[in-house]
Structure 1
Amino acid sequence: MAPDISDVSKDTQSLHGHEVIPPTGLAVRDLGKTFKGRPVLRDVNLAVQRGEAVGLLGPNGAGKTTSFYCVTGLISPDHGRIYLDGEDITALPMYRRARLGIGYLPQEASIFRGMTVEGNIRAVAEIVEADKAKQEELVDALLHEFSIDHLRKSPALALSGGERRRCEIARALASRPSFILLDEPLAGIDPIAVGEIREMVSHLKDRGLGVLITDHNVRETLDIIDRAYILHEGIVLMEGQPSEIVAHEGVRRVYLGERFSL
């Protein structure tokens, strides 16, 4: 069941020129960015709570990738703020955000190719856990959780696409994040792999993580998420549950097309 979004929806607005900052969760307020004199983001507001999956969607050039990269810390906004549990993290670099609980999985393969599967996970576990015994407990638990125990000694280079993705997510969870940002997780994968991604996102939610997804595969993404923000020409056109998005006349006109259905 999708979480109650009534409070979240209210929190995505700036009221009377004053920022409304939710005390919990990941929030973006009045985000703006200009490239070469062209506004790419215009006062974008969004929020993600723990235990929900949220999509950041829109046509090419809508600003979704720029918004996503601002949240990760890959680029800096020209104006606006980013908050984690009410604390302003706008000026923090990506590695500081990671330490505070924001995990990130890029579209491109990010495993350490010269390491084994367990070596990949241990590389992160060593950073967050000083005790060697607890490090190994964490590595073993994640290998088991993502059904890659049998691959622990395998070189990462030899993994299939699905195995690699499970290894990457297990490694990301070794840092004990509260939120995880998935960049194009559905790009170039077959229907079986789409089902695996759906199960993984559901598992992350059950773990209590908030998940933010940006992807060009709108139908598959709407099938995975609880709600989404639709961007168009740098602004949030609407926010809502998948059924509300599909029924929205403006979204159908500029993004989905009149014949789109779930």
Structure 2
Amino acid sequence: MLSAHRIMKSWGKRTVIRDVSLTVRRGEIVGLLGPNGAGKSTTFRMLTGELTPDGGNITLDGLDITCLPFYERARHGLTYLPQTSFLPRTMTVEQTITVILETNTGNREARARYMERVLTDFSLTSLRGARIGSLSGGQRRRCEIAVSMACNPAFALLDEPFSGVDPVNVGEIATLIRAMARGQVGVLITDHSALELLRLVDRSYVIYDGHVLAEGDAATLVADRRVREAYLGGTFQI
């Protein structure tokens, strides 16, 4: 289980996150929602290791990772999909995935089998020789998720997975995320599209004014007067 317990963060004299606690279990898709400036991004950055909490702790399957940089967290089964593209534009899809497999997979035969599996699972077989720079937004996002999953993680942090993806491909990305959860990967997602996120996740946390305002499934949050007033609005519907 990925768990944050009463984490806090301040900038100077201003406390931006206070006593935020959340959990993500394997095979579960959890959302992290909130209006701009509420502390959602800061919370997410503490989970990735980009920021260190000023208080509280973060654990991964019981291991305290509060002060570990991301590359150390990755060794313990955490992967991270950033909002902005991180893939070299001149490399091909296959070359990009190969770099990760050579780091995490044993012999050549095993890498070849896993490569075919990844290309098939993420509908990238026909694009294996395509350069990253030539891909559409949706294709590139699929490739980025495939690269993130090539290290066989236990938990995945997805930052704005629908960013830059046209409506046709949003459904494909959501299907891939559901498949990750069926494979017993715990997934935490933050995204500005509350509608798409609530349709996808099992439950969500709503961050407001630096703390957890509410937690629950989509129906629970939509029915919560505090959530509607602070974030979703009075006319929001799933």
TM class, shorter-chain normalised?
Answer: over 0.9
Supply the distance in 1 between the matched residues of 2:30 and 2:177 (Cα, whole angstroms).
10
Supply the distance in 2 between the matched residues of 1:154 and 1:191 (Cα, whole angstroms).
23
SS of equivalent residue, structure 1 residue 144: helix
Q: For structure 1, which runs of at least 5 residues remain unmatched after alignment? A: 1-24
SS of equivalent residue, structure 1 residue 82: strand
* TM-score, normalising length: structure 2: 0.97
Contact 1:143 1:152 in 2 (8 A): yes
Supply the distance in 2 between the matched residues of 1:150 and 1:53 (Cα, whole angstroms).
29
Supply the distance in 2 between the matched residues of 1:33 and 1:180 (Cα, whole angstroms).
22
| Matched letter for residue 178 of structure 2 | S
Supply the distance in 1 between the matched residues of 2:98 and 2:218 (Cα, whole angstroms).
38
* TM-score, normalising length: structure 1: 0.88
Contact 1:187 1:217 in 2 (8 A): no
Q: 1:197, CA displacement in angstroms?
A: 1.9
Correspondence list, 1:120-199, <5 A: 120-199=96-175
Correspondence list, 1:217-256, <5 A: 217-256=193-232
Q: 1:36, CA displacement in angstroms?
A: 2.8
Q: 1:236, CA displacement in angstroms?
A: 0.3
Farther-moved stretch of structure 1 (80-89 vs 159-168): 159-168
| Matched letter for residue 128 of structure 1 | N
Q: 1:92, CA displacement in angstroms?
A: 1.1
SS of equivalent residue, structure 2 residue 50: coil
Contact 2:132 2:140 in 1 (8 A): yes
Farther-moved stretch of structure 1 (222-231 vs 128-137): 128-137
Supply the distance in 2 between the matched residues of 1:199 and 1:172 (Cα, whole angstroms).
16
Supply the distance in 1 between the matched residues of 2:132 and 2:230 (Cα, whole angstroms).
42
Supply the distance in 2 between the matched residues of 1:202 and 1:137 (Cα, whole angstroms).
23
Within the alignment, does 1:117 sit opposite 2:93 as a pair?
A: yes
Supply the distance in 2 between the matched residues of 1:220 and 1:142 (Cα, whole angstroms).
25
Contact 1:30 1:81 in 2 (8 A): yes
Aligned length: 238
Indicate the percent of aligned positions where both proteins have the same amino acid. 47
Contact 2:80 2:156 in 1 (8 A): yes
Supply the distance in 2 between the matched residues of 1:145 and 1:248 (Cα, whole angstroms).
37
Correspondence list, 1:75-114, <5 A: 75-114=51-90
Farther-moved stretch of structure 1 (40-49 vs 248-257): 248-257
Supply the distance in 2 between the matched residues of 1:112 and 1:99 (Cα, whole angstroms).
22
Farther-moved stretch of structure 1 (47-56 vs 200-209): 200-209
Q: 1:44, CA displacement in angstroms?
A: 0.3
Supply the distance in 2 between the matched residues of 1:217 and 1:109 (Cα, whole angstroms).
19
Q: 1:114, CA displacement in angstroms?
A: 2.2
Contact 2:138 2:170 in 1 (8 A): no
Farther-moved stretch of structure 1 (193-202 vs 46-55): 193-202
Supply the distance in 2 between the matched residues of 1:114 and 1:189 (Cα, whole angstroms).
21
Contact 1:32 1:79 in 2 (8 A): yes
Contact 1:99 1:175 in 2 (8 A): no
Cα RMSD, aligned residues only: 1.1
Q: 1:34, CA displacement in angstroms?
A: 0.4
Q: 1:64, CA displacement in angstroms?
A: 0.6
Q: For structure 2, which runs of at least 5 residues remain unmatched after alignment? A: none
